[in-house]
Amino acid sequence: MKAKTAKNSPYAVEVEAGKTYQWCSCGLSKNQPFCDDSHQVTECEPLDYMATENKKVFFCGCKQTHQSPLCDGTHSKL
């Protein structure tokens, strides 16, 4: 199954140093951009992102990035 596009733009999230975030890779989560276990009906798995510092990051919303879980601008080419 190809991942479902959840949003055709990134999700800006303020992350906290030392905290791990589980990015939804399937696009089905109701808690975008994070996993809510909706992937159970797919072959997709969430991807862990460990924040190394307090900052704003841009998680991919289209689920087609080549720099998972972060946005690489792929959504602008869809």
Domain assignment present for residue 28? The answer is: yes
The answer as to whether 63 is a domain residue is yes
Phi first, then psi: give them for residue 41, nearest 5 degrees: -90, 10
56: which 2 tokens? Answer: 């704003």
**Residue 1 included in any domain:** no
> Quick one: pLDDT at residue 41?
85
Domain hosting 18: range is 11-77
Number of domains the chain is built from: 1
Residue 35 lies in a domain: yes
The pLDDT score that the predictor gives to residue 1 is: 64
In a domain, 5, yes or no: no
Q: What is the pTM of this model?
A: 0.93
pLDDT tens digits, 38-74: 998 889 999 999 999 999 999 999 999 999 999 999 9
Asked whether residue 39 is assigned to any structural domain, the reply reads: yes
- In the chain, the N- to C-terminal Cα span, in Å, equals 18
Let me know if residue 66 belongs to a domain.
yes
